[in-house]
Copies of this chain bind each other. A is one copy, B any other.
């Protein structure tokens, strides 16, 4: 008989994530910082990039490819930019440091840009863009990843699904938050379809001949993702590769280790890039907030297409899920619970009563 799974209080999930990172040797500050990224992402309802990934990060921390005592460092900088070496620390720790650095520079110079090498998978790019929006800044966050996506005309993977996030503050309205993969769909969604035995649309994957396939089990060994909007997503992925990988000196495309499938004893050497723009430097912040509120309300109240009840602003689904989660807990899907069960087994942690 299937057990009924109740939503998990945010604090309870944070405790488990903290315990896992502590168990892997992270100091308290790093464990807190990394856990908060993953749990916030789950609270947003973005379960592909939340605590589901903990088991994989723990595997790499125990294997040595991720260093629990790694310390991201600025290796080169100017007043408005920095190149950061992640020292193979946990991706979320390095990414928070790098976005914070970009924001500090933006506070002083109007804008700040950081590019990062020697990092790993950093969870949801949107978290870092949102860090900027919370403090009156426009933020961008992006990362390269091991090749899994075709280019128009190729039959094998050429670039990663290189994610891109953007956030902007508003006034009374919630911030704008966009977090997208430059693949037609994120690889995590294909893995979920495979796990649940679901078919996928013909636009998600191509097989070894470059022909569309409906079988999610072929990914990634015998199928590749397709780029978002064809040449447009391919071009944007190449832009992200340039800003994250080429400007930082990180590895590129095939040379990047898969954070899931590669030898956990080896660093993956992902690259990231972060941009922060301090709104108040460019335009009076209160007027900006008022105009952004007006724009948001104008879009929301636009006439609906037949059969449509609502026009969503980027991020609104996340804010609503988070508000629900604060009151009722996070309704973790079965695949996340299963991964967390595996995690506590791997690490010998006490099983929480909600799992």
Contact = CB atoms under 8 A, between A and B. Distances in A.
Interface stretch (A47-55, A187-195, A308-316): A308-316
Nearest to A294: B252
Nearest to A292: B246
A151 B302 contact: yes
A93 to B, nearest CB: 22
Integer count of this chain's copies in the complex: 2
Interface residues on A, range: 35 or more
A145 interface: no
Contacts of A355: none
Interface string A81-112: 10100000000000000000000000001110
Given A153-B312, A166-B239, A311-B152, A115 B282 contact: yes
A295 B156 CA distance: 15
B241 A295 contact: yes
Contacts of A236: 166, 178, 180
Given A228-B229, A253-B298, A277-B247, A305 B154 contact: yes
A176 interface: yes
A314 B81 CA distance: 27
Contacts of A242: 138, 168, 176, 292
Interface of A: 76, 78-81, 83, 109-111, 113, 115, 138, 150-156, 158-159, 166, 168, 176, 178, 180, 184, 206, 209-211, 228-229, 231-236, 238-239, 241-243, 246-249, 252-254, 277, 279, 281-283, 288, 291-292, 295, 298-299, 302-306, 308-314
A314 B247 contact: no
Contacts of A156: 302-303
Given A81-B281, A238-B176, A302-B151, A243 B138 contact: yes
B166 A235 contact: yes
Nearest to A231: B314
A209 B305 contact: yes
Contacts of A209: 305-306
Contacts of A306: 155, 209-211
B152 A78 contact: no
A111 B275 CA distance: 11
A253 B301 CA distance: 14
A282 B313 CA distance: 35
Contact of A152 (B150, B309, B312): B312
A184 to B, nearest CB: 8
17 contacts: A80-B109, A110-B113, A153-B304, A154-B299, A155-B305, A158-B298, A166-B239, A176-B242, A211-B306, A228-B229, A229-B232, A241-B295, A243-B277, A248-B282, A248-B283, A252-B295, A253-B295
A298 B233 CA distance: 18
A81 B111 contact: yes
